[in-house]
Amino acid sequence: MTKIAEEFLVKADEKAFDVDHRNIINHNIGKYNVAVERGLSRFANLEASKKKAHVIKWRVMENLDKFLPEFEANFQRRGGKVIWANDAAEAQQEILNIIRKNGGKSVIKSKSMTTEEIHLNEFLEQHGIDSLESDLGEYIVQLLGQKPYHIVTPAMHLSKEDIAKLFHEKFGTPLDYTPEQLTQKARELLREKYLTADIGITGGNFLIADTGSIALTENEGNARLTTTFPKVHIAIVGIEKVIPTMADLDLFWPLLSSHGTGQNLTVYNTILSGPRQTHESDGPEQMYVILLDNGRTNLLAQKDQRQALYCIRCGACLNACPVYKNIGGHTYNTTYSGPIGSIITPHMQGMKDFKHLSYASSLCGKCSEVCPVKIDIHKMLLLNRRDAVEQHENTKTEDLSWKVWNAGMAKRSRMDVFGGKIKNFFMKLLFKKMWGKYRAMPEIAEKSFSSQYQDHQKAKNK
């Protein structure tokens, strides 16, 4: 077992029995469930919408080599610049080059999981560049020195009392401040940063191939400010985010918002097609889109599992997952947590270090049920387990144990060769620490049902 897997087990054990943590998460996800149920009820035919979205994303992934150059050509036609980054290091360096070329000293960011994926804030800090998160949830976890807890709601693990205490310690606000007052304080602190930042950095919810545009969806308006005030705008987007046409937003925007927050549409939806044109009054003088691979083509090469790239990052599978709701987002120690993170991370960061995530599941199938683009998530988890075995990423002890179990289960006579006492001894020897820490170990009968039935039949026939 790798160190990362060992840390996962320790953290999962801690969080699963942290009552305060569970109360906060269950409260927040409970509110989400009510809103989402109401939002989904507004679809005339939700299943048909999900099937259509699945087919569109299937077509994109099967023709990614056509749609990405189409986006690039259309975006560049309006004065934008496209940079292709193979991995996190390349993306970091390209961003640093742009900032230095423009004499930038400060960066304002809107919420972006891809920038979290390449650890951009830490990288820029190492090079003397101040990088500030403008999304309220991201700003809160940045103040705490933490990573986002959830794909959509970064500070989901915190109560309003936790945030009031943080603001009191950092900014001297009263401990009894309401959420509205705390939001107003954050707005006051951040507004000046938009005006003084040299560079604005965002992600992108969708890349629109036929117009060469990026689509941003948000609830706070910080992405619009981030892309309007600074002279340079950099958008870093995963290559899988492309959709064929502008008309497809009519489907994907409502699916994303309804599954993410229960809204018909999020409050702010923006389409950007390059830097400010001569007839336009605002916008950046330069606009760059960095197309990030960072292991995505590894997943694309897996025919059975490439549908994981259909993900639109709504977070629905996290909120539905009984494992996520018990161990929380930080336990996964990955940018993308929950079920979707468990299926993509082993391909993006290595099966050896992250194969354990595919086993952190009850395989209840709820994640597949709620996915707006119909990714067969629980099947992908099983396929990852298969790959881990085929790539010999399991330990020799694990391989040997399964061989012995398989040999024993192959024949009834082998199953019955050891009595209940011997089986109970091995159960306690091998599984007491793993299974019996919080529950009593099961007691196996001295004789199997098969043996008891045979004895019963013999006695009956005498």
- Please give the Cα distance from 286 to 230 (Å, whole number): 9
Confidence of residue 453 (pLDDT cuts 50, 70, 90): confident
Helix (H) / strand (E) element for 233: namely: strand 232-238
Q: Is the pLDDT of residue 424 over 80?
A: yes
Confidence of residue 181 (pLDDT cuts 50, 70, 90): very high
Domain boundary among 294, 329, 349: 294
What CATH number did the domain enclosing 246 receive? 3.40.50.10420
Q: Which two tokens stand for residue 66?
A: 């056509």
Q: Is the pLDDT of residue 33 over 90?
A: yes
Q: Is the pLDDT of residue 436 over 70?
A: no
What is the rounded average pLDDT for all residues in the chain? 93
* Residues 286, 138 within the same domain: yes
* Residues 289, 438 within the same domain: no
- The 10s digit of each residue's pLDDT in 46-102 is 999 999 999 999 999 999 999 999 999 999 999 999 999 999 999 999 999 999 999
Q: What is the pLDDT of residue 130?
A: 94
Domain boundary among 294, 326, 347: 294
Confidence of residue 105 (pLDDT cuts 50, 70, 90): very high
* Residues 117, 245 within the same domain: yes
Query: For the chain, how many structural domains are there in total?
Result: 2
* Residues 278, 129 within the same domain: yes
- Please give the Cα distance from 124 to 13 (Å, whole number): 34
Q: Is the pLDDT of residue 216 over 90?
A: yes
Q: What is the mean pLDDT of residues 229-240?
A: 96
* Residues 285, 421 within the same domain: no
* Residues 112, 245 within the same domain: yes
* Residues 289, 414 within the same domain: no
For residue 45, give the amino acid letter. N
Instruction: State the distance between the two ends of the chain, measured CA to CA, in whole angstroms.
Output: 55
DSSP state of 245: -
Picking from 212, 242, 239, 251, the residue whose alpha carbon sits closest to that of residue 293 is: 239
Phi and psi torsions of 254, nearest 5°: -65, -35
Is residue 203 assigned to a domain? Answer: yes
Confidence of residue 401 (pLDDT cuts 50, 70, 90): confident
Domain boundary among 248, 264, 294: 294
Q: What is the mean pLDDT of residues 353-367?
A: 94
> Do residues 60 and 196 touch, judged by C-beta distance below 8 A?
no
Is residue 302 assigned to a domain? Answer: no
Is residue 148 assigned to a domain? Answer: yes
Q: Which domain holds residue 438?
A: 408-461
- Please give the Cα distance from 62 to 208 (Å, whole number): 16
Confidence of residue 442 (pLDDT cuts 50, 70, 90): confident
Paired with 85 in beta bridges are 292
Paired with 208 in beta bridges are 213, 243
Is residue 300 assigned to a domain? Answer: no
Is residue 36 assigned to a domain? Answer: no
Q: Which two tokens stand for residue 43?
A: 């679809």
- The 10s digit of each residue's pLDDT in 331-358 is 999 999 999 999 999 999 999 999 999 9
Is residue 323 assigned to a domain? Answer: no
- Please give the Cα distance from 345 to 64 (Å, whole number): 20
> Do residues 76 and 82 touch, judged by C-beta distance below 8 A?
yes
